[in-house]
Structure 1
Amino acid sequence: MTYSDLLRLIDERATAFRAAVAAAPDLGAQVPTCPEWTLFDLAEHIGEGRRRWAATVAAGPADAPPDRAAWPGPLEAPRERDALLDWLTASTQLLVGALREAGPDRGCWTWWGRSQSPRNSAAVARHQLQQLAVHTYDAQLVVGAAEPLPTEIALDGVDEFLSTCCATTSPWPHEPATVDYHATEGRSWRLSLSADGARSARTNGEGTADASAEGSASELVLFLYGRILMDALKLEGDRRQFDRLIAWDPGV
């Protein structure tokens, strides 16, 4: 996707998130996929997170994220629903505005220093879109209206997760392995695991891996983010590899 596509879709998913918050009968309802959070907690996380990343992008190249004092305010999420929705709107506008002003190639601090994703505004926009997409799904679950992630977002989401959250130079603590992910929309990816770390790549879907998972792109993203169980996917090969991946903390 182009950078302008990412910014457009961030705004679109943020709008869908606010719609779920607006439809909820109770902001104190528990989020099934984030059981430690109420819907208000999730909304607070969304608003604060977008303001934090707006400040991070605006700060440019740095060795550490900006202090909370540098985040654009107000930082406290209002408890009243209409005010909360306005605060969420402003949070998204701050993020999109910072990304638009920075442009795709400007460097900034990120937590994924040893991954395959660059440390720039484009990578931040790409990851922020996925965060909003998955948390919109979380919020929709609260009101009983969960929808699959839009295909355009989900197809990029599988690649983004593997290259940002899985790829690392940290050694894989088990025997070398390959794990394939196949989207029913026609795209495939391979994660190669070894003492040199983990690397992901698009594939043509051919060849045999030690383990593979197949589902819609939305199902793959939701599985990768721990929203659905692996049994929701078509699994082949050694499923222990998925258990090992879930348990692994490579310190990306």
Structure 2
Amino acid sequence: MAPLAHERYCDEIVLLTETLRSVISGADLDANVPTCPEWTLRELAVHVGGAHRWAGEIVRTRATEELPEERVPAFTPDGEDPAVLDAWLADGAARTAGALREAGPGAEVWSWYRDRSAGFWGRRMAIETVVHLADAALAAKVPYAMSPDLAADTIDEWLEIVSFAQAEGDPEAAELRGEGRSLHLHATDVPDAEWLIEFGEDGFTWRRAHGRATVALRGPLTDLMLVFNRRLAPDSDRVELLGDAELLDFWLARSSFG
């Protein structure tokens, strides 16, 4: 599937950040984040806001090489006042969306991915916020929901990134091979939201398709996305796991970010 429109990603960076701000408002910012145990809720929010500002500055300056954090204006909030954090998150999201809109998706900029464009950063920052919003909701013990197209795009982008990591020689991703095995994701609440991942001798391929597989994961699309991003356990009663559960565990253990 093609990515969503660039303008949509720009909008979602702002809208999802508004939701993040709402989630953490009044919450215990020193609470541990279960899905990112090295972070508190405050540190998670600062990570998201810093990522926005970093990507926004890369696009704004049309950077041709990786940008050091110390060259990013207001990379972290000034102090620990929750009101300051809230304003900092809002301002960073708005500035980043503004830089992305001004640049347009085709502007050439540095990235760590094969796609070196502002369009890459728009999509990456929107989806970064999709996933970390789930982390924040879990930590704050509030409900989490995601629009179907964004949830599906999050799965698509993750498969693209893991495929890129394998091509670049990432040692964990390199193990995602093995002739004759396959993994099927099947959303039960959204038509045609299915993915078939097939392992071969040289790696894996994937496509949007229905098919028999070594292991299948069925459930609501948002929950499939959360399992695939290791935010929901695959044995959760919110999803149904059929077939070789060890293959899904094998995938999840070797498809990590960075």
- The TM-score normalised by the length of structure 1 is 0.86
Following superposition of structure 1 onto structure 2, how do residues 108-187 of structure 1 map, counting pairs within 5 Å? 108-113=109-114, 118-167=115-164, 168-169=166-167, 170=169, 171-172=174-175, 174-176=177-179, 177-184=181-188, 185-186=190-191, 187=193
Contact 1:163 1:199 in 2 (8 A): no
Deviations, residues 13-40 of structure 1 (Å, cap 9, x unaligned): 100001112131x221222222221111
Contact 1:179 1:192 in 2 (8 A): yes
- Residue matched to 2:97: 96
| Cα deviation, residue 189, structure 1 | 1.3
**SS at 1:34's partner residue?**
coil
Give the counterpart of 1:53 among 52, 55, 70: 55
Q: Say if 1:83 and 1:173 are closer, same or farther in 2 by CA, change over 3 A.
A: closer
Cα pair 1:47 1:77 within 8 Å, conserved: no
Q: Is the 8 A contact 1:172 1:193 kept in 2?
A: no
Report the CA distance shift for 1:202/1:195 in structure 2 as closer, same or farther (over 3 A). Answer: same
Higher share in strand: 1
3-state SS, counterpart of residue 36 of structure 1 = coil
CA distance in 2: counterparts of 1:249 and 1:181, whole angstroms: 15
Partner of 1:197: 203
In the alignment of these two chains, the number of paired residues is 244
Q: CA deviation at 1:212?
A: 1.9
Q: Distance in 1 between matches of 2:199 and 2:63?
A: 30
Question: Once the two structures are superposed, what CA deviation does each residue of 1:30-61 show, in whole Å capped at 9, x if it has no partner?
Answer: 22222221111111111111111112223436
- Segments of 5+ residues of structure 1 without an aligned counterpart are none
> Which string of whole-angstrom CA distances, capped at 9 and with x for unpartnered residues, describes residues 159-198 of structure 1?
1211223453244454223222111212111223334333
User: For residues 110 and 58 of structure 1, do their structure 2 counterparts lie closer, same or farther at Cα, with a shift above 3 Å needed?
Assistant: same
What per-residue deviation string (whole Å, max 9, x for no partner) do you get for residues 135-155 of structure 1?
112222233212222323212
State the match for 1:226 in structure 2. 230
Aligned residue for 1:33, secondary structure, equals coil
Which residue identity lines up with residue 240 of structure 1 in the other structure?
Answer: E
- Quote the Cα distance in structure 2 between the aligned partners of 1:198 and 1:122: 26
User: In 1, distance between residues paired with 2:225 and 2:198?
Assistant: 18
Structure 1 position 69, deviation (Å): 2.9
Letter in 2 for 1:89: A
Residue ranges of structure 2 left out of the alignment (5+ in a row): none
CA distance in 2, matches of 1:161, 1:65: 22
Residue number in structure 1 paired with 2:220: 216
Deviation of 1:251 after TM superposition, in Å, equals 8.3
Percent identity between matched residues is 27
SS in 2 for 1:93: helix
Residue pair 1:180, 1:212 contacting (<8 A) in 2 also: yes
Moved over 6 A (4+): none
Write the letter of the residue equivalent to 1:60: R
